[in-house]
Chain A
Amino acid sequence: MGELKRTPLYEWHKARGARLIDFAGWEMPVYYEGIVAEHQATREKAGMFDLSHMGEIEVKGPDALEFLQSVMTNDVSVISDGQAQYSALCYENGTIVDDLLITKLPGRYLLVVNASNIAKDFNWLKSHIKGRVEVLDRSSEFAIFAIQGPHAEDIVAAFYGESVRSLPYYHAIELDYQDKKNAILISRTGYTGEDGFEVLLPNEYALETWNKLFQVGEKYDLVPVGLGARDTLRMEMKFALYGNDISDQTNPLEAGLGWVVKLDKEFIGSAALKSIKEKGLERKLAAFEMVDRGIPRQHCPVIIDGQPVGEVTSGSVSPSTGKNIGLAYVPTGSSKIGTEIAIDIRGKILKAKVVKAPFVPSHVKK
């Protein structure tokens, strides 16, 4: 693996015996002990994830809100300082540039975006600037750790103070790091469906903080978790992954993200989405589970009434349910729970059925 980027924790991952892979141009741990063990540890105790490859884009200026409203699908005006929001950026035709988290902080908005889309998102935002707005790509400055699981609150409170326990879901606070004021941003967010926090901090403090969090977390059975389990955890929650379930070939309405699309405001793509909504969705992202034995994978054809109607967008084992699960776009008429479908897994046509999502209950602290 030649020119791959590394996070501040690369040597730690290596020393811990991580299996490293190329993810979006970064050399990242896909697992340490094993995907299944790490997945279960996160749901039962606590897991810590290195997400430092993700992007951080800052938007500020007197016209920042107006600008963001013109590009974001969600209503940015409803979040106040210390509040986060899930949102998307769309193209004119309503398909998706990226999904992201936006947090309002004093004097600025912080966008956390997918590692695979950092340059694309930054250029998209810059090329659409209106008014007195500054857009800064600060991705190279920050590391992110996610601590997720039933013990996450205990661990983060033990290290950062009891006040984090009362941090509401999708809220964030800034904390000092020694003499650096507001150097650390802690958000009660995550991609697992468990209660947890995401800690954003400058690269210089990353390794030290990671080590200290593990020291504190030891008595709570904190384990490191790689991108493999990150994927199985989010799939069980039917959280979309850009490049799989959402892309520039899908719109947020059919992806089940209508709840972050506010069509009563104008933004890039809103006209197309209004029209799509009026016509009715032709297809919908459905959750399914295998009935016959087999593991569905991305790109496996979906067969309904003997006809291929689409492809699996995400598929895997589900360690928490013991089933094999997946997500796929199916014609709207076939998207009802209980609909029998089939998946062509490497030539074998295997029975599956549309099921309710998420596959496991959410434990976030709403």
Chain B
Amino acid sequence: MDIKALKFTEDHEWVRVEGKKAYIGISEYAQKELGDIVYVDLPPVGERFAGGDELAEVESVKAVSNIFCPLSGEVLEVNEELTHSPELINKDPYGQGWIAVIEIENPDELNDFMDAEDYDNFCSTL
């Protein structure tokens, strides 16, 4: 997984663009902050989200956290594996821990994101 190819949001989501599709997940920093993830509430396939909408919920043993949709578009696919193996987000947040695929409605929205280096710098300020 080439992390340098990913884009990041300040809410610790990552985006990987493949043509018209955007793979969404949460970062290494986020999974570490959350601790053991024990439950993932995936969005419905076919539902359309605006950038900034609440997309999914992940739960650690102690807390519930919201994942926000980084960009606008329809959910094309969700990672069903997370239903019985939520810990994949902890073990492989950029690979097997992907959460959903969104159809990119507006490619201009991609300009708002940080690249890997900027995101690293951002995390070190937290």
Contact = CB atoms under 8 A, between A and B. Distances in A.
Contacts of B36: 31, 34-37
A295 B39 contact: yes
B78 interface: no
Interface of A: 19, 30-31, 34-37, 228, 232, 293-295, 297, 316-317, 324, 346
A346 B90 CA distance: 24
B122 to A, nearest CB: 21
A35 B63 CA distance: 12
B126 interface: no
B37 to A, nearest CB: 10
B20 interface: no
Contacts of A317: 38-39, 61
Contacts of B35: 19, 31, 34-35, 228
Give the secondary structure class of A's interface: mixed
Nearest to B59: A295
Interface of B is mostly: mixed
B62 interface: yes
B3 interface: no
Contacts of A294: 39
A228 B38 contact: no
Contacts of B87: 36
B31 to A, nearest CB: 11
A215 to B, nearest CB: 28
A232 B61 CA distance: 9
Contacts of A35: 35-36, 60-62
Contacts of A19: 35
Interface of B: 35-36, 38-39, 59-62, 64, 83, 87, 90
Contacts, number: 34
A255 to B, nearest CB: 23
B64 A228 contact: no
Contacts of B83: 293
Contacts of A34: 35-36, 90
A31 B60 CA distance: 12
9 contacts: A34-B36, A36-B87, A232-B61, A293-B39, A294-B39, A295-B39, A295-B59, A297-B64, A316-B61
A316 B62 CA distance: 8
Contacts of B38: 36, 295, 317
Nearest to A21: B62
Contacts of A295: 38-39, 59
A178 B59 CA distance: 48
* Most A-side CB within 10 Å, residue of B35, B36, B39, B90: B36
B99 to A, nearest CB: 16
Contacts of B64: 297, 346
B41 to A, nearest CB: 8
Contacts of B60: 35
A98 B28 CA distance: 41
A324 B39 CA distance: 10
Contacts of A324: 39
Nearest to A35: B61
A31 B61 CA distance: 11
A346 B54 CA distance: 14
A228 B34 CA distance: 13
Nearest to A34: B36
A216 B75 CA distance: 54
